[in-house]
Structure 1
Amino acid sequence: MVERSGTEELRRRNLAAVLGAAHRHGPLTRAALTSRSGLTRSTIGALVGELAGLDLVYETDSGAARVGRPSPLVHANERVVALAVNPDVDAVTVGIVGLGGKVHRRIRYQTQAIPSLTEAVNITRAVVEGLSVELAGFDHIAGAGLAIPGLVNAASGQVRLAPHLGWSDVDVVEPFQRALDLPTVAANDATLGTQAESIFGAAAGYDHALYLNGSASGIGGGAIVNGMPLTGASGYAGEFGHMVIRPDGTPCHCGRRGCLETEVNLERLLGVLNLEQADADQLEEALSSDGSLPAAREVRRQTDMLSIALSNLVNAFNPQAIVLGGFLGVLLAAGGNRLAEAVRREPVGGLGSEVRVERAALGSELLLVGAAEAVFAELLAEPRVIRRASA
């Protein structure tokens, strides 16, 4: 019994390793999986066969001309999906995301006022009901992931504080789970964005990276240290938006003045553009077509404020790269080289000289991919769980 149990555990780990590689780095040939894992070709063939039987991977012809037997490409099955939900102060965004980070659908439901928890749940339910025919065509729905702009205890599903939404000390998982009838998980939006960018985006391949996301709800972020996400003692690490960068600046809801998210602020950008609401794509289009002096001055002011924060973070974390998402990515693009040059110049001892400042690669899909990744975590660790879920 002990030997059989050990064999089964080894099999589980190997299945997880193959599925994880196909999900995060695929599609990969069987030869590449063999090289990456150190397992034999026959073992890889058996593992791929079992995963294909679970509808978690499929194979296609690699199309590469080679002598001997061809090595087909192993794909994570993008028809195995998660629902992803991102409530914010101006919209509730719902997406369908497949294995491999494939976003099949993104719907942004704009709200006229900050949604309450009940309103966010009802909007999400209505959007998902409208997608029912499409969802029925997928192979498996693994669950729902919530990307919440606030302090979230991922283990319990409790939102300690989402100040811009006005949600405090509430369980967000239970009402969404009840409404959607799916296993549901929740985490901080920027933490999920960090994970998504480190796997599929601009931070992929870096062992030491920082991610900052800017939205209507403020600024949050996360850190990758030695290839692992930095969570903090209670899971709340990454509240970069409340770093004070101007002590005599604008009052912040946290009680202090001059926090990063009060000085670098989407609402201020929208104000100079005479817009009430805009996502990152709409903001970039507006800035590129505006060309006015007030808009240029505000972009420059916010870029300079952001450079102070990023220089402080370089001093503290010594990263290889800093990735900017949401409207922060728009600022990076609109400001030309101003931000990157400041980050190279301002940190102590030349620490910024080799830091790459990049825009998030996943764009408006970023938080949806991150929320789905939280859902897929159990499946990637234990692929056979899909058999129980489908029973």
Structure 2
Amino acid sequence: MGARPGAQKAPAGRRRTRAVRSLPGVANGTEGLRAQNLSQILTMVHRYGPLSRSELTRRTGFNRSTVGALVLTLTERNLVRETEPAAGGRVGRPSPIVQVNPGVAVLAVNPDIDALTVGVVGLGGRVHARVRRETRGIPTLDDAVQLTLDIVSDLQPLLAGLDSLLGVGIALPGLVNAGTGRVLVAPHLGWQDADLTGPFGAALGLPAVAANDASLGSLAESIFGAALGVADALYLNGSASGIGGGIVTGGAQLVGSRGYGGELGHTLVRPGGSPCHCGRSGCLDAEVRLERLLGAAGLDGGGIEALEIVLSDGPVEAVRLEAERQVELLAVALVDFVNIFDPELILLGGFLGSLVGFAGQSLGDAVNEASLAGRVHVRRAALGPELLLVGAAELAFRPLLASPA
């Protein structure tokens, strides 16, 4: 409902500057080069916020006239706007500030077993609106499409004030083939081998794209959140559906041969423990659960917002004991991840972020003491409840960022 958080410093440790790369899909030759240059300018101000023309010149290596022409083109397409900088007493003509037009937006959808959330997200990661509707039971795919339509209908006054609505991005707790838009399996939702993007796209009249929710959360944190500028990071998201992960190594997302990489929730943490949807027992996804924490407080639902209240200062003993148990098992998994991926930063989102708040420094200390290399930073994700919406929106913005012309 507000602007995205400002740029945040990455934790101490090695940091690398990542150049903005133009995305694939542009033509060759002079027009192709111009399209790449437009992509680079738009992507830069989208990801890093308002930049002066002189700063764009410095970062891109283009000359001033080229930057001016590219900015003019993007302005004519209503993708960016220019403003005069605040007076600073400097000699000479100040360089205009270039910023994205947040009125160019997409829809973001996050279905889960207890609720469905729809957001309207503008360029620059600005969340104009976020609506969460709880469901009476686990929604079917058709239920999710219809509920999305109902929410979008309620959002019409806001949508009417936008300059353009480009598409819809879907963050799903399950295995999603981002290339085909099909869900292989979303075990907690019960969705299996189904066309995901087709029904949403047809109902909304917009091009639709989809990917795993935790992978999109990792993407959002690496662009707008606490992993900005960090080349090797690991992200875990905890929702009512379970736990998923996203891995960034060498500045690139690790997705696997079919796009199903990052199912870190199915790491064994307690042999012979609770049965998991994957068929095994004792997986992180089966042992560290939102409903167990809420259940310890006598609650049936309420989501992460309710958990924040439950885990506030002085939780009752049943809640405290369950939270301590889950933190201990979470640490077991994180030690394995540190030994395998050697990240410099671990980010925990969703209800796992709430556990970070509860455990404080003790979780990071436990991980560093038990892992081989140690010296990893364990932090709460920075984007909060808007995280998955920003990630889904980034997926939907990709065609525009690749080819603004």
Q: In the alignment, which of 266, 275, 280 is matched to residue 242 of structure 1?
A: 266
In 1, Cα distance between the equivalents of 2:141 and 2:314?
36
Q: How far did residue 281 of structure 1 move?
A: 2.9
Instruction: Check the 8 A contact 1:303/1:338 in 2, yes or no.
Output: no
Higher relative contact order structure (alpha carbons within 8 Å, sequence separation ≥ 6): 2
TM-score, normalised with respect to structure 1:
0.95
SS of the aligned residue for 1:161 comes to strand
Q: How far did residue 369 of structure 1 move?
A: 0.3
* 1:13-61 Cα deviation digits (max 9, x unpaired): 1100000000000111111111110011111111111001111100122
SS of the aligned residue for 1:144 comes to strand
Name the aligned partner's letter for residue 231 of structure 2: D
In 1, Cα distance between the equivalents of 2:259 and 2:268?
21
In 2, Cα distance between the equivalents of 1:61 and 1:285?
44
Name the aligned partner's letter for residue 274 of structure 1: G
Q: In the alignment, which of 350, 360, 364 is matched to residue 336 of structure 1?
A: 360
In 1, Cα distance between the equivalents of 2:178 and 2:87?
44
Find runs of 4+ consecutive structure 1 residues off by over 6 angstroms: none
Tell me, yes or no, if structure 1 residue 303 matches structure 2 residue 327.
Answer: yes
Identical amino acids, percent of aligned pairs: 55
Q: How far did residue 131 of structure 1 move?
A: 1.2
Aligned to 2:59: 36
SS of the aligned residue for 1:288 comes to coil
Instruction: Check the 8 A contact 2:178/2:210 in 1, yes or no.
Output: yes
Instruction: Check the 8 A contact 1:273/1:290 in 2, yes or no.
Output: no
Tell me, yes or no, if structure 1 residue 169 matches structure 2 residue 193.
Answer: yes
Aligned to 1:388: none
In 1, Cα distance between the equivalents of 2:383 and 2:125?
10
Tell me, yes or no, if structure 1 residue 280 matches structure 2 residue 301.
Answer: no
In 2, Cα distance between the equivalents of 1:321 and 1:265?
23
Q: How far did residue 343 of structure 1 move?
A: 1.3
Aligned to 1:264: 288
Structure 2 unmatched runs, 5+ = 1-26
Q: In the alignment, which of 158, 170, 176 is matched to residue 182 of structure 2?
A: 158
SS of the aligned residue for 2:312 comes to helix
Q: How far did residue 283 of structure 1 move?
A: 1.3
Tell me, yes or no, if structure 1 residue 359 matches structure 2 residue 380.
Answer: yes
Tell me, yes or no, if structure 1 residue 61 matches structure 2 residue 61.
Answer: no
Instruction: Check the 8 A contact 2:294/2:310 in 1, yes or no.
Output: no
Matches within 5 A, 1:1-391: 6-65=29-88, 66-288=90-312, 291-348=315-372, 351-353=373-375, 355-384=376-405
Report the count of equivalent residues.
Answer: 378
TM-score, normalised with respect to structure 2:
0.92
* 1:146-201 Cα deviation digits (max 9, x unpaired): 11100000111110000000000000111111110001011111111110010000
In 2, Cα distance between the equivalents of 1:5 and 1:257?
53
Instruction: Check the 8 A contact 1:80/1:139 in 2, yes or no.
Output: yes
Structure 1 unmatched runs, 5+ = 385-391
Q: How far did residue 337 of structure 1 move?
A: 1.4
User: 1:42–1:319: structure 2 CA closer, same or farther, 3 Å change rule?
Assistant: same
Name the aligned partner's letter for residue 29 of structure 1: S
SS of the aligned residue for 1:100 comes to coil
In 1, Cα distance between the equivalents of 2:309 and 2:83?
39
Instruction: Check the 8 A contact 2:139/2:189 in 1, yes or no.
Output: yes
In 2, Cα distance between the equivalents of 1:339 and 1:301?
12
Q: How far did residue 290 of structure 1 move?
A: 5.5
User: 1:5–1:238: structure 2 CA closer, same or farther, 3 Å change rule?
Assistant: closer
User: 1:311–1:5: structure 2 CA closer, same or farther, 3 Å change rule?
Assistant: closer
Q: How far did residue 277 of structure 1 move?
A: 1.3
* 1:85-110 Cα deviation digits (max 9, x unpaired): 00000001000000000000000011
In 1, Cα distance between the equivalents of 2:178 and 2:295?
35
Q: CA RMSD in A?
A: 1.1
SS of the aligned residue for 2:149 comes to helix
SS of the aligned residue for 1:274 comes to coil
In 2, Cα distance between the equivalents of 1:64 and 1:339?
47
In 2, Cα distance between the equivalents of 1:25 and 1:161?
35
In 1, Cα distance between the equivalents of 2:79 and 2:293?
44
Name the aligned partner's letter for residue 359 of structure 1: R
In 1, Cα distance between the equivalents of 2:292 and 2:310?
14
Range moving further from structure 2, 21-30 or 287-296: 287-296
Q: How far did residue 293 of structure 1 move?
A: 1.2
In 2, Cα distance between the equivalents of 1:282 and 1:352?
33
Instruction: Check the 8 A contact 2:310/2:319 in 1, yes or no.
Output: no
Name the aligned partner's letter for residue 285 of structure 1: I
In 2, Cα distance between the equivalents of 1:76 and 1:346?
45
Instruction: Check the 8 A contact 1:323/1:359 in 2, yes or no.
Output: yes
